[in-house]
Amino acid sequence: MTKDLPVKSLGLRRADATPHAAALIEGLRDLGYSLETAISDIIDNSITAGATRVEIITETSSGNPRIAILDNGEGMSEDELIAAMRPGSRNPLAARDEPDLGRFGLGLKSASFSQCRRLTVVTRKGGKTSIAVWDLDDVAVRNEWSVQLPEDAADISEVDLLGTQGTLVLWEKLDRLGGNLADNPVRRAEVINQRIAEAERHLRLVFHRFMETTKPLEIALNGRTLAPLDPFARTNPATIADPVEHLPLKHGCVEIQSYTLPHHKQMSNAAWEDLAGPEGHLKSQGFYLYRGKRLILHGTWFGLCRQSELTKLSRVRIDIPNSMDADWKVDVKKSSAQLPPLVRDRLKRVIERIQGGSKRTYRSRGQRLVNQERLPLWQRVQANGQIRYRPNIDHPAFATFAEALPPSLRQGFFNCIALVGASLPVETLHADMAAMPEQVAPDKIDDEVLVQAVQYTLSMLLESGKEIHEIRSLMKDVDPFRSAWTETQSIIERTLQVRGE
């Protein structure tokens, strides 16, 4: 039996591995921020500081374009400001207060450096103004982790807009926002303004719940207060909201609520487009993940199902506390996350239900439009695993006209109708309906064609014993009468007067 040998104490040598400031601080610029996620990270700090108003001011026409973000939060002392300017100022594993939207202690610096080479922060607290500056050109020369502390704020842009308390974050040397267009200031201003305009919708969406409260957060862009963008259209009476579900886990409780948006016919075109965003409704369906009421991620099913046209009205809100960051692997930019296994299991069980509402919304309209009791011009035929649409030759407009034709021409007429049905541009219709269904509309018909269609249909329905109120109801529900109902009603009344009915 071998006896345990005593472990000889070994001398432990150490070497200084402090990173080179010039190299690492340049690396912080490439964490993947966009302009909108960078501005959002600054606003996170404003919310954590208790701000009720955030102003974003851009100056793009001068030789030194800049972006200023001001808030009326509680501000910082000089010691607090220096700590905030230190990269990695907070341990991501440390517990945070509920309203704290930060995590890594990198947001102010990494977000700012992603857009500019000079970051100036002016803050006021308890009647005292403190200033700190990171200038990456200065760091490149000195290669030191030292922040500048100017004494006088008089020459700092937009500082006069700072109130008795609050913080100003100023981005200058915007080398990544049109920096390669320095010799063309007009074009550079256009590029920066376009990027700012694209960021507006992102801010309205990400912070909409803070902007909707009884004491709302106001976010202003160049003096214009932004309106919140609720992705669930909760104020629309046609929106369907399922009950809230709670999933208690080790590090907090996950809250889940699914919504089915109204059909585009049940809201204005402007509201429908606003909800869709630049990528459209197809890309906007799925889960909307909030951390502390701040939107982190949206427009994904986390791989649990595929995005489809029939499910594009399904959206589900998921709320997590900031104590669950590690479980969800929330990144530095707070713009991506991963689904924990326990939550994945729960969402698998509810996903069929949250999809079902969207499918019912579209299918119910589809069934109503092809119902044989509603005088459809098109028939929906399902057989042998295929769905076909063909003109309804029994429709009064077709049947009455065919009866008026000489027998030798009738078959040719029906052959022409069949040719129209066989030539239906299915692929083009599918592409248009998937991309922009609200823009797909029936063609307008001439007055003469409408008069003929109304008279044929009215005559056949009267001969079949239908009451006039029944006829109006039937015709009002189908095109082309539905799309021109005012004119259709006038034609019906005139035709009835001529007939003496």
Minimum mean pLDDT among 352-361, 419-428, 439-448: which range?
A: 352-361
Q: Would you say the pTM of this structure is higher than 0.95?
A: no
Q: Which pLDDT value is given to residue 96?
A: 45
**Residue 260 above 50 pLDDT?**
yes
- State the Cα–Cα distance between residues 327 and 93, nearest whole angstrom: 11
Q: What is the mean pLDDT of residues 232-257?
A: 92
Predicted local confidence at residue 37, as pLDDT = 93
Q: Report whether pLDDT(400) > 50.
A: yes
Question: Do the domain assignments include residue 152?
Answer: yes
Range ranked top by mean pLDDT from 95-109, 144-158, 404-418: 144-158
Q: What is the 3-state secondary structure (H, E, C) of 451-492?
A: HHHHHHHHHHHHHCCCCHHHHHHHHHCCCCCHHHHHHHHHHH
Q: If pLDDT is split at 50, 70 and 90, which confidence band does 356 have?
A: low
Structural domain includes residue 43: yes
Angle, CA 202 vertex, CA 197 and CA 207 arms, to 5°: 130
Same domain, 333 and 431: no
Cβ atoms of 40 and 110 closer than 8 Å: no
Shared domain for 339 and 389, answered yes or no, is no
Q: Which of 54-63, 84-93, 333-342, 443-452 has the highest mean pLDDT?
A: 54-63
User: Where residue 67 sits, what CATH number does that domain have?
Assistant: 3.30.565.10
16-30, 81-95, 286-300, 375-389: range with lowest mean pLDDT = 81-95
pLDDT in the model for residue 9: 55
The answer to whether residues 476 and 468 touch, using CB atoms and an 8 Å cutoff, is no
**Please, what sign has the CA dihedral across residues 132, 137, 138, 144?**
positive
Mean pLDDT of 374-382: 72
248 & 214 share domain:
no
Domain boundary among 318, 341, 367: 367
Domain identity same for 390 and 313: no
338 SS3 class? coil
Question: pLDDT value at position 149?
Answer: 96
Residue 179, pLDDT above cutoff 50: yes
Q: Is the model's pLDDT at 86 over the cut of 70?
A: yes
Higher-confidence residue of 331 and 416: namely 416
* Alpha-carbon separation of residue 5 from 8, 12, 84, 394 (angstroms): 9, 20, 51, 100
| CA–CA separation, 239 and 261 (whole Å) | 5
Q: Which of 73-87, 220-234, 264-278, 322-336 has the lowest mean pLDDT?
A: 322-336
Range among 11-20, 291-300, 473-482 rated most confident: 291-300
Percent of the chain with pLDDT over 90: 38
Average pLDDT over residues 152-181: 90
Q: Tell which of 177, 202, 225 closes a domain.
A: 225
pLDDT score, position 208? 97
Band the pLDDT of 375: cuts 50, 70, 90: low
Note whether 93 and 141 are within 8 A (CB): no
Is the pLDDT assigned to residue 370 strictly greater than 50? no
Same domain, 353 and 474: no
**Residue 240 half-sphere exposure, CB side, CA atoms within 13 Å?**
15
> What own/partner pairs with CB < 8 Å and gap ≥ 24 does 378-381 have?
none
The pLDDT of residue 350 is 75
- Six-digit token pair at 497? 């007067």
Look at residue 85 in the predicted model and tell me its pLDDT.
92
399 in any annotated domain: yes
At residue 367, the pLDDT reads: 42
Do both 411 and 464 map to the same domain?
Answer: yes
CB atoms within 10 A of CB 2: 4
**Which CATH number does the domain housing residue 329 bear?**
3.30.230
Provide the residue range defining the domain that includes 480.
378-499
- Helices 447-463 and 485-499 meet at what angle, rounded to 10? 60
Render pLDDT for 274-323 as a digit per residue (tens, 0 to 9): 999 888 888 899 999 999 899 999 988 988 888 887 778 889 999 999 88
Indicate whether 162 belongs to any domain: yes
Could you give the angle at which helices 485-499 and 468-476 cross, rounded to 10 degrees? Answer: 150
For residue 168, the one-letter residue type is L
Determine the pLDDT at residue 73.
96
Q: What pLDDT, on a 0 to 100 scale, did the predictor assign at position 173?
A: 93
DSSP structural state of residue 284: H
Task: Look at the chain and report how many structural domains it folds into.
Answer: 3
Beta-carbon-side half-sphere exposure of residue 242 (alpha carbons within 13 Å): 22
Is residue 450 within 8 Å of 484, Cβ to Cβ? Answer: yes
> Is 141 inside a domain boundary?
yes
* Residues whose CB falls within 8 Å of the CB of residue 207, separated by 6 or more in sequence, listed in order: 40, 43, 47, 217, 219, 228, 294, 295
Q: Return the DSSP state at 75.
A: -
Does the bond joining 480 to the residue before it have cis omega, within 30 degrees of 0?
yes
Domain co-membership, 348 together with 433: no
CA quadruple 304, 309, 314, 316: dihedral sign:
positive
Residue 24: per-residue pLDDT: 86
Judge if 342 and 363 occupy the same domain: yes
Assess whether 252 and 216 both reside in one domain: no
Between residues 431 and 361, the one the model is more confident about:
431
Q: Is pLDDT above 80 for 151?
A: yes
Last residue of a domain, one of 190, 225, 260: 225
Q: Are 52 and 217 in contact (CB under 8 A)?
A: yes
383 confidence band (pLDDT: 50, 70, 90): low
Quote the pLDDT of residue 120. 97
13 within some domain: no
Q: Is residue 176 part of a domain?
A: yes
Averaged pLDDT score across all residues of the chain: 83
Mapped onto helix, strand or coil, the DSSP state of residue 128 is: strand
- Please tell me whether residues 95 and 186 are part of one structural domain: yes
Residues in the chain, total: 501
Counting Cα atoms < 13 Å in the Cβ hemisphere of 250 gives 7
In a domain, 234, yes or no: no
Using the predicted structure, report yes or no on whether residue 342 has a pLDDT greater than 70.
yes
222-226, 257-261, 284-288, 482-486: the lowest-pLDDT one: 482-486
Domain match, 349 and 427 both: no
Q: What is the DSSP letter of 494?
A: H
| DSSP letter string, 200-236 | HHHHHHHTHHHHSSSSPPEEEETTEEPPP--TT-TTS
Are residues 342 and 409 located together in one domain of the fold? no
Per the model's pLDDT, the better-predicted residue between 309 and 164 turns out to be: 164
